[in-house]
Amino acid sequence: MEKVKKQLVVSAIENGTVIDHIPNDNVSTVVRILDLYKLDNEIFLGANLNSKKYGKKGIIKIKDKFFEDFEINKIALVASTATIIEIKDYKVYRKFEVTVPETISGIIKCFNPKCVTNMEITSTKFKIVDKKDIKLMCHYCEKITKKETLEFF
């Protein structure tokens, strides 16, 4: 039984990416921030899967899609435990854990409505001052955007 389930979870795609070990509640967030609904690619979503390490976990598989660094940075901010598995010809081509970067440009809006990035310019830049709790200090207004106030462009 265990074997069957295991097979189901990593069921083969010929080419594409598996995002594994997503915190169970954040699967839909990952889908949203990566704009996966806009793709025509086949996508498999899984949630409530058993994980030895995390209890319940989620997984996303996207056929014929490989992510850019800036997209992987986005994943790291909402699913810091995620593993990226790139598949080519049914084989694991590359496998790595996401890491929260030191700085992040674009992608995220500054939560401060009085910030210059919400008024005069649209490019944002943050220093990640707390990688565990995800706290981003705005390069411009120096206010802290927290996990709860994360908003993506």
Partner 1 sequence: MKNKSLISISDYSVDEIMEVLELAKEFEKNPSQRIAESKVIASLFFEPSTRTMMSFESAANRLGARVIGFNEVSSTSVSKGESLSDTIKTVSLYSDLIVIRHHIEGAARFASEVSKVPVINAGDGANQHPTQCMLDLFSILRTQNTLDNLDIVLVGDLKFGRTVHSLVKAMTNFNTTFHLVSPVELKLPSAVKMFIKNRKLKYYQYTSMEEAIKKADIVYMTRIQRERFSDPLEYERVKNSYTLSKNLLVDVKPNMKILHPLPRVNEISEDVDNTPQAYYFDQALNGVYVRQALISKILGLK
Cβ contacts of 132-140, under 8 Å, gap ≥ 24: 132/80, 134/77, 134/80, 134/100, 136/104, 136/108, 138/110, 138/112, 140/110, 140/115, 140/116
Residues contacting residue 95 through CB under 8 Å, at least 6 positions apart? 83, 84, 85, 86
Least Cβ distance, residue 30 to Zn ion (angstroms): 25
Least Cβ distance, residue 144 to partner 1 (angstroms): 6
Instruction: Select from partner 1, Zn ion, none the partner in contact with residue 139, using the beta carbon and a kind-dependent cut-off of 5 to 8 Å.
Output: partner 1
Report the residue number, 5 or 146, with the smaller CB distance to partner 1.
146
Is residue 144 a contact residue for partner 1 (CB under 8 A)? yes
The CA-based dihedral angle spanning residues 104, 107, 111, 116, taken in that order and rounded to the nearest 10 degrees: 80
Instruction: Select from Zn ion, partner 1, none the partner in contact with residue 1, using the beta carbon and a kind-dependent cut-off of 5 to 8 Å.
Output: none
Site string for Zn ion, 129-148 (x = CB under 5 A): ---------x-xx-------
Residue from the set 105, 116, 122, 147 that interacts with partner 1 by CB under 8 A: 116
Instruction: Select from partner 1, Zn ion, none the partner in contact with residue 39, using the beta carbon and a kind-dependent cut-off of 5 to 8 Å.
Output: none
Is residue 114 a contact residue for partner 1 (CB under 8 A)? yes
- Nearest Cα to 19, choosing from 72, 77, 84? 84
- What is the total count of residues that contact partner 1 (CB under 8 A)? 15
The sign of the torsion formed by the CA atoms of 42, 31, 36, 104 equals negative
Residue from the set 29, 73, 140, 150 that interacts with partner 1 by CB under 8 A: 140
Token pair 């976990």 is found at 57
What residues make contact with Zn ion under the rule CB under 5 A?
A: 110, 112, 115, 138, 140-141
What residues make contact with partner 1 under the rule CB under 8 A?
A: 112, 114-117, 119-121, 138-144
